[in-house]
Structure 1
Amino acid sequence: MRHLFQSFSQQSQKTTSKTNRKTLGLVMGLVVASWLTGSMILGSINVPGVSLASPTKSSDSAHASMQQHVKEHGFAEIAKSVTPAVVNITAQKVMNSNFQEGPFDSFRDFFGKPGMPSPPQEHFGMGSGSGVIVSPDGHIVTNFHVVDGAKTVTVMLVDKREFTGTVVGTDPQTDLAILKIDAKDLPYLKWGNISELQVGDYVLAVGNPFGLSSTVTQGIVSALGRGGMGITQYEDFIQTDAAINPGNSGGALVNTQGELIGINTAIFSRTGGSQGVGFAIPASMAQPVFDSLVKNGKVVRGYLGVGIQELTSDLAKTLNLDDTKGALVTDVRSGSPAEGAGLQRGDTIVMYQGVAITNPRTLQREVTRTPVDTSVDITIMRDGEEQKLSTKISEHPDSIQLASVGKSVHESALAGVKVQDLDQRLAQTLGVKGMTEGVVVTYVEPGSQAERAGLVRGDIISEINKEEIHSLREYQEVVSELTHDKLALVLVHRNGNPLFLTIKV
Structure 2
Amino acid sequence: MSHSQSPVMRSWFAFTLAVTATSTLTSLVLYQLPASRLFGVPVDRAATSVAADQLSHAFKEAARSARASVVSINSIKRYRPAAGGRSAPRQQLPEELRRFFGEDSWERFFESPQGQAPFEQQGMGSGVIVSADGYVITNNHVVQGADDVTVTLHDGTTQKANIVGTDKKTDLAVLKIAAQGLTAAPLGDADLMEVGDWVLAIGSPFNYHQTVTAGIISAKGRRVGVLQSVQGYEDFIQTDAAINPGNSGGPLLNLRGEVIGINTAIASRSGGFNGLGFAIPSKIVGSVYQAIVQHGHVERGQIGTLIQDLDRDLAESFGYNSTDGVLVQDVMPEGPADRAGIRSGDIIVRYQANPVNNSKQLRNAVAATAPGTRTKMTVFRDGQERQLEVVIQSQNLQRRASRNKPSESSTTTLGITVQTLTADQARQLGLTPQEQGVLVTQVASGSLAARAGIRRGDLLLDVGGQAIDSAADFQEALQNFDPSTGVRLQVKRGNTRSFVFLKDLP
TM-score of Structure 1 vs Structure 2, range by shorter chain: 0.5 to 0.7
| Deviations 1:453-475, CA, capped at 9 Å, x for gaps | xxxxxxxxxxxxxxxxxxxxxxx
| Deviations 1:251-309, CA, capped at 9 Å, x for gaps | 01011111111100011112211111111001100111101101111112122111111
Q: Is the alpha carbon distance of 1:228 and 1:289 closer, same or farther for their aligned partners in structure 2, counting shifts above 3 Å?
A: same
SS at match of 2:307: strand
For residues 307 and 359 of structure 2, the distance between their equivalents in structure 1, rounded to whole angstroms, comes to 6
Of 53, 74, 83, 1:90 maps to 74
Aligned residues of 1:308 and 1:331 also touching (Cα < 8 A):
yes
Aligned-CA RMSD value: 3.1
Q: CA deviation at 1:68?
A: 8.8
For residues 327 and 245 of structure 1, the distance between their equivalents in structure 2, rounded to whole angstroms, comes to 36
1:224 maps to which residue? 220
Q: Which amino acid aligns with 2:348?
A: I
Higher mean Cα deviation, 385-394 or 125-134?
385-394
Higher mean Cα deviation, 190-199 or 146-155?
190-199
For residues 310 and 189 of structure 2, the distance between their equivalents in structure 1, rounded to whole angstroms, comes to 31
Q: Is the alpha carbon distance of 1:175 and 1:435 closer, same or farther for their aligned partners in structure 2, counting shifts above 3 Å?
A: farther
Q: Is the alpha carbon distance of 1:140 and 1:422 closer, same or farther for their aligned partners in structure 2, counting shifts above 3 Å?
A: farther
Q: Is the alpha carbon distance of 1:347 and 1:151 closer, same or farther for their aligned partners in structure 2, counting shifts above 3 Å?
A: same
For residues 148 and 347 of structure 1, the distance between their equivalents in structure 2, rounded to whole angstroms, comes to 40
For residues 68 and 102 of structure 1, the distance between their equivalents in structure 2, rounded to whole angstroms, comes to 51
| Deviations 1:93-124, CA, capped at 9 Å, x for gaps | 14699899999x8x454357999795483742
Aligned residues of 2:169 and 2:227 also touching (Cα < 8 A):
no
| Deviations 1:410-454, CA, capped at 9 Å, x for gaps | xxxxxxxxxxx9999xxxxxxxx9689xxxxxxxxxxxxxxxxxx
For residues 68 and 320 of structure 1, the distance between their equivalents in structure 2, rounded to whole angstroms, comes to 55
Higher mean Cα deviation, 379-388 or 146-155?
379-388
1:302 maps to which residue? 301
Aligned residues of 1:94 and 1:149 also touching (Cα < 8 A):
no
| Deviations 1:7-60, CA, capped at 9 Å, x for gaps | xxxxxxxxxxxxxxxxxxxxxxxxxxxxxxxxxxxxxxxxxxxxxxxxxxxxxx
Q: Is the alpha carbon distance of 1:71 and 1:298 closer, same or farther for their aligned partners in structure 2, counting shifts above 3 Å?
A: same
Q: How does 1:278-317 map to 2 (within 5 A)?
A: 278-317=277-316
SS at match of 1:379: strand
1:248 maps to which residue? 247
Task: Indicate yes or no: 2:171 matched with 1:190.
Answer: no
Aligned residues of 2:259 and 2:282 also touching (Cα < 8 A):
yes
For residues 163 and 361 of structure 2, the distance between their equivalents in structure 1, rounded to whole angstroms, comes to 31
For residues 100 and 59 of structure 2, the distance between their equivalents in structure 1, rounded to whole angstroms, comes to 51
Q: How does 1:111-126 map to 2 (within 5 A)?
A: 119=107, 121=110, 123-126=119-122
1:139 maps to which residue? 135
- TM-score, structure 2 normalization: 0.62
**Runs of 4+ with >4 A deviation:** 67-70, 95-103, 111-118, 421-424, 433-436
| Deviations 1:380-436, CA, capped at 9 Å, x for gaps | 12233322211111222179xxxxxxxxxxxxxxxxxxxxx9999xxxxxxxx9689
1:110 maps to which residue? 98
Instruction: Give percent identity, aligned residues only.
Output: 42
Q: Which amino acid aligns with 2:212?
A: V
Task: Indicate yes or no: 2:160 matched with 1:158.
Answer: no
For residues 91 and 233 of structure 2, the distance between their equivalents in structure 1, rounded to whole angstroms, comes to 18
- The structure having more radius of gyration, on CA atoms, is 2
For structure 1, the residue ranges without an aligned partner over 5 or more in a row are 1-66, 400-420, 425-432, 437-505
Task: Indicate yes or no: 2:314 matched with 1:319.
Answer: no
Aligned residues of 2:195 and 2:218 also touching (Cα < 8 A):
yes
For residues 176 and 100 of structure 1, the distance between their equivalents in structure 2, rounded to whole angstroms, comes to 25
For structure 2, the residue ranges without an aligned partner over 5 or more in a row are 1-50, 80-85, 111-117, 403-427, 432-506
Q: Is the alpha carbon distance of 1:71 and 1:114 closer, same or farther for their aligned partners in structure 2, counting shifts above 3 Å?
A: closer
SS at match of 1:263: strand
Q: Which amino acid aligns with 1:183?
A: A
SS at match of 1:75: helix
How many aligned positions are there?
Answer: 339
Q: Is the alpha carbon distance of 1:334 and 1:113 closer, same or farther for their aligned partners in structure 2, counting shifts above 3 Å?
A: farther
For residues 393 and 400 of structure 2, the distance between their equivalents in structure 1, rounded to whole angstroms, comes to 20
Q: Is the alpha carbon distance of 1:219 and 1:372 closer, same or farther for their aligned partners in structure 2, counting shifts above 3 Å?
A: same
SS at match of 2:214: strand
1:79 maps to which residue? 63
For residues 91 and 263 of structure 2, the distance between their equivalents in structure 1, rounded to whole angstroms, comes to 19
For residues 114 and 129 of structure 1, the distance between their equivalents in structure 2, rounded to whole angstroms, comes to 29
Q: Is the alpha carbon distance of 1:100 and 1:158 closer, same or farther for their aligned partners in structure 2, counting shifts above 3 Å?
A: farther
Q: Is the alpha carbon distance of 1:321 and 1:203 closer, same or farther for their aligned partners in structure 2, counting shifts above 3 Å?
A: same
For residues 71 and 102 of structure 1, the distance between their equivalents in structure 2, rounded to whole angstroms, comes to 48
2:164 maps to which residue? 168
SS at match of 1:80: helix
SS at match of 2:285: helix
Q: Which amino acid aligns with 1:389?
A: L
For residues 329 and 230 of structure 1, the distance between their equivalents in structure 2, rounded to whole angstroms, comes to 25
1:380 maps to which residue? 379
Higher mean Cα deviation, 245-254 or 390-399?
390-399
Q: CA deviation at 1:133?
A: 0.4
